Chain A
């Protein structure tokens, strides 16, 4: 088996991995190797042909492929090495990486530092437990997007989309633009899951019915999908049988959640936050395993690729310092614990003594709220919604006390009342 020592190994060549690689090279790491399982660098972005990327990072409104092309170009210019169609099979607790591809065969890599940038996968249709047989014609949104926009296939003529998050809305528009009949977007919550920009430009513009407070109760068809049965749901999100009706369709596109891809992380023994689905990280994007850093969607599901890039830059810089031996463990560990109305906060651990940008996901939509960080910091927000990550920056404070800080959200006008 080929053995190779390498300074920095990066698992994943999407936006996060590329940003980490570039930052590490710029910090002076000479030997940076990206291990990418797909046939191209870029991760998910080459198939995200719509605009809305880079508004913050570049101040421009780019498509996914345009955004990531800039980083691929930079990485190539900096001579970042990458291996494509290369699968990392295992990361051992001693940081040894076992990987395989058809050119090198099986490999055993011994990196000084590792950046995990595996991104995420889609929640499969089967997890929902919606009854029916197993016909062809059911796809998760990302798979449908690849098949259509990279593979050049048209999957069906009458489409139903389950899930009104941004991915589902964007796919509704893509299908409509390719000449299919999009019968409906079905959403179980009483509000859309994605940005209002996408509600307007994906369903309103194309006259696609957005059925809020609805769910699919069963699917029809045994060889190929023939239709779905839908029903309105009550306030407890349970289907109301008297509202059931059938929608004829030949394709169901399912967009019901993204899951950080952490099998390698768990196998390596990293501490995982069950709320994010990703490794517990500190403000340097360091995980619980010394010398292993993580960034991008593998840490938590980001809503903007700009944030993914920034997290990759932090991870790359930190990994570089670690590889050079100048990465002492932080003096202080303050755990940021999610409190009332907060699903999670990333990073989970901060030192408190230097400024840190934090990313928070709320549990429910609320207006005119205050984000409390311990008893020390507050931030006002006019509106917070689960699909949109809240960003706030904590200033450093040399005098900060050790110990956990609870991050919670309350209504501005009454600290203890719920919305």
Chain B
């Protein structure tokens, strides 16, 4: 059973709309893509799309109430909302140096959630 999917490549401003043909879920051809990096991206995007994860968590005792955080590596795209919910109630306590691990091995995805900003205790 073949299937055709389209993926907009994001590697460079050309934004090629790659056409991929899959057979039983496996990519068998990629067309309308101008470079190998784009082709690799398109295939990953079909097979196992990942995204950077970044959000805020609440912080107590600092001059501002929100601490920006990120995952140390990309997460599967379909785990985005689960990660959001997982961290939404976290409240950390200042001081928080940049890079502090807020959640180790977030949702068992092999990445940590770390702070991206230093906040002193007020």
Interface residues of A (CB under 8 A from B): 39, 46, 49-51, 61-66, 69, 148-152, 177, 195-197, 199-201, 204-205, 382-383, 385, 388
Contact A66 B55 (CB under 8 A): no
Picked from B65, B80, B98, B118, the residue with its CB within 8 Å of the CB of A151 is: B65
Is B98 a contact of A66 with CB atoms below 8 Å? yes
**Total A-B Cβ pairs within 8 A:** 74
Alpha-carbon gap, A50 to B116, bound state (A): 10
A148 to chain B, nearest CB (A): 8
Complex Cα distance, B54 from A149, in Å, reads 11
B15 within 8 A of A: yes
Smallest beta-carbon distance A329→chain B, Å: 38
Q: What are the residues of chain A within 8 A of B70 when measuring CB–CB?
A: 49, 51, 63, 66
Distance between Cα atoms of A66 and B55 in the complex (Å): 13
Q: A197 to B11: give the CA distance in the assembly, Å.
A: 8
B positions within 8 Å CB-CB of A:
8-10, 13-15, 51-52, 54-56, 58, 63-66, 68-70, 77, 80, 84, 98, 116-118
Contact residues in A for B8 (Cβ distance below 8 Å): 196, 199-200, 204
Q: Is the CB of A49 within 8 A of B51?
A: no
Complex partner residue of A49 from B13, B15, B54, B118, CB under 8 angstroms: B54
Interchain CA distance A206-B84 in the complex, whole Å: 13
Q: Could you tell me if B65 and A49 are in contact, using CB atoms closer than 8 angstroms?
A: no
- What residues of chain B lie closer than 8 Å to A152, measured between beta carbons? 56, 58, 64-66
Known: A69-B98, A152-B66, A205-B77. A46 touches B10 (CB 8 A): no
Contact between A196 and B15 (Cβ–Cβ < 8 Å)? yes
CA–CA, A197 to B10, complex, Å?
A: 5
Contacts of B51 in A (CB 8 A): 201, 205
Residues of B within 8 A of A388 (CB): 13
16 contacts between A and B (CB under 8 A): A39-B63, A46-B68, A49-B116, A50-B54, A51-B52, A63-B54, A63-B70, A65-B116, A148-B56, A151-B65, A152-B66, A177-B55, A196-B9, A204-B8, A205-B51, A205-B80
Residues of B within 8 A of A383 (CB): 13-14
